[in-house]
Chain A
Amino acid sequence: AQRVTQPEKLLSVFKGAPVELKCNYSYSGSPELFWYVQYSRQRLQLLLRHISRESIKGFTADLNKGETSFHLKKPFAQEEDSAMYYCALSSFNKFYFGSGTKLNVKP
């Protein structure tokens, strides 16, 4: 069965520190993976998708099929990065979300 695991419920870092939000998945095919973000009082929105290999707001995520991971990274966290982050997997038009990680960037 498909499953997405985000092991950290809360991650606190200081401004300027590197940040890594972990995401592991279980899937028996070629996954389509996404990171969604929800800022306070805003809608859930797409941050990254693995297929485009892009960097958005300084965040990157690399798909590691060997480790079945899709960790989200940023070298220098900013206070405005504080938000709830969800990793998601798409399989044949179904979506599976992780339970989310709350990132708190302290000044």
Chain B
Amino acid sequence: EAQVTQNPRYLITVTGKKLTVTCSQNMNHEYMSWYRQDPGLGLRQIYYSMNVEVTDKGDVPEGYKVSRKEKRNFPLILESPSPNQTSLYFCASRGSGRTQPQHFGDGTRLSIL
């Protein structure tokens, strides 16, 4: 089944403790992206990647890092999480072509205490 898989689905952690949220897709998509969803703000793009070793900032990249060493994986790294990064995070992938639909994961709910 074609899908985008995120792990973990839920995480409660403390300020400053590095964490990584993994994202994997099995559709051989070049484009992958991370979003955060906050009440009243909708989805805001954090980072995106056009292909392996090609990443770029979205609207809200501060406090996040990403890497794209393999086509299928696009982990989101919070080196020193803070409470304002408490949010619902979504990973998405898309085939080549700007009008192709994005396929979303189920989301990861992060709570930073």
A: residues with CB less than 8 A from B are 4, 6, 9, 32, 34, 36, 43-46, 49, 51-52, 86, 88, 90, 93-100
Contacts and interface: CB of A to CB of B under 8 A. Distances in A.
Contacts of B43: 44, 86, 88, 95, 97
Nearest to A92: B98
Contact of B45 (A45, A86, A96, A98): A96
**3 shortest A-B CB distances, which residue pairs?**
A46-B101, A99-B42, A97-B43
Dominant secondary structure of chain B at its interface with chain A = strand
A84 to B, nearest CB: 10
Dominant secondary structure of chain A at its interface with chain B = strand
A52 B107 CA distance: 28
Contacts, number: 56
Contacts of A52: 99
Contacts of B41: 99
A95 B92 CA distance: 11
Interface size class of B (residues with CB under 8 A): 20 to 34
Contact of B98 (A32, A45, A88): A32
Interface of B: 31, 33, 35, 40-45, 48, 50, 56, 58-59, 90, 92, 98-99, 101-107
A32 B98 CA distance: 8
B48 A32 contact: no
A97 B41 CA distance: 9
Contacts of B105: 43
A75 to B, nearest CB: 24
A20 B97 CA distance: 29
Contacts of B42: 4, 6, 86, 97-100
A15 B18 CA distance: 48
A54 to B, nearest CB: 12
A44 B58 contact: no
Nearest to A51: B99
A34 B43 CA distance: 14
A93 B54 CA distance: 12
Contacts of B90: 44
Contacts of A90: 98-99
